[in-house]
Structure 1
């Protein structure tokens, strides 16, 4: 996305980020049996959805034992059957910057991942 206006660029990236997040959330909800809807246009992000298989939280603070600066991942999944926690962080960027953004996100959420592993 090339534009001269930083405000427009920021808005466009945020819109794309939110749409990607919605698509991922829908697929996760389908995988864990949290919804029967298959069309993205009918799907809306809910802060927290859960059943016997999983709990999925979107853009919410994750409770931890210690203070964690970055504890609000895009999607937090608690897989109750496998007893594992998945943290999904969406990054909308160009291919040239993909590796740098990936490393940045891993570093940013490393402490949260370790805390979640210990708690859950």
Structure 2
């Protein structure tokens, strides 16, 4: 008869893990991403980013909605009466709202973040096909680059037979050797909005 007995330390670790997951605030981020993203890959930056303890703690606090926003001050600390965002004056000013939900930041901060991610993808594609890579990661790529292997289009508007609102994908790769085109459209949603954004991209091309 085989019986496995857990060490007291293992039991304590399991109990602690279960406890923080169930907490309404500290377990919120984990619950949001648990079903839409790989947990191990999501937390790879903890081992690879080389951040200081204070920076890492600040990012983790933001992920757990634990920064002192106006919503926290109004609903948790009760130090103010109005929880609304100081920019748009509409939705409660939570971390989630500031990071990905404020209409006043959509055309500036959110767009800059989106483009920075798209440029990383673009640079890797250019390297793969032997095309010239922009010298700086901050440079806006040219609309069209081309060689004998491929043509890469950046933020290029297409004329279509059927009218489409979204006719300007971030990147289009035209592989001349394989005679195929790949459309790449980048999205940087909040973790809780991954499924919603994926549905939008598929349903409204």
Q: TM-score range by the shorter chain?
A: 0.7 to 0.9
> Match for residue 132 of structure 2?
35
Q: Residue by residue, what CA displacement relative to the aligned partner does 1:61-109 show, whole Å, maximum 9, x if unpaired?
A: 2244x13313211111111111111111011111110111011112222
C-alpha separation in 2, matches of 1:72 and 1:36: 22
Q: Point out the structure with the larger strand share.
A: 1
1:1-120 maps to which residues of 2 (within 5 A)?
4=85, 5=87, 6=102, 8-10=104-106, 11-35=108-132, 40-41=137-138, 43-64=139-160, 66-69=161-164, 70-109=166-205
Structure 2 residue runs of 5 or longer lacking an equivalent are: 1-61, 70-84, 88-101
The Cα offsets for residues 29-73 of structure 1, whole Å up to 9 and x where unpaired, read as: 1111112567625x5411011111111111112244x13313211
For residues 48 and 85 of structure 1, do their structure 2 counterparts lie closer, same or farther at Cα, with a shift above 3 Å needed?
same
Q: Which has the higher contact order (CA 8 A, sep 6+)?
A: 1
Which protein shows a greater Rg?
2
SS at structure 1 position matched to 2:157: coil
- Normalising by structure 1, we get a TM-score of 0.75
Paired with 1:36 and 1:75, the residues of 2 have a C-alpha distance of: 14
- Aligned-pair Cα RMSD in Å: 2.3
Aligned residues: 107
Displacement of 1:7 = 5.2
If the length of structure 2 is used for normalisation, what is the TM-score?
0.46
List runs of 5+ in structure 1 lacking aligned partners: 110-120
Q: Which runs of 4+ in 1 moved over 6 A?
A: none
Tell me the distance in 2 between the aligned counterparts of 1:20 and 1:45: 13
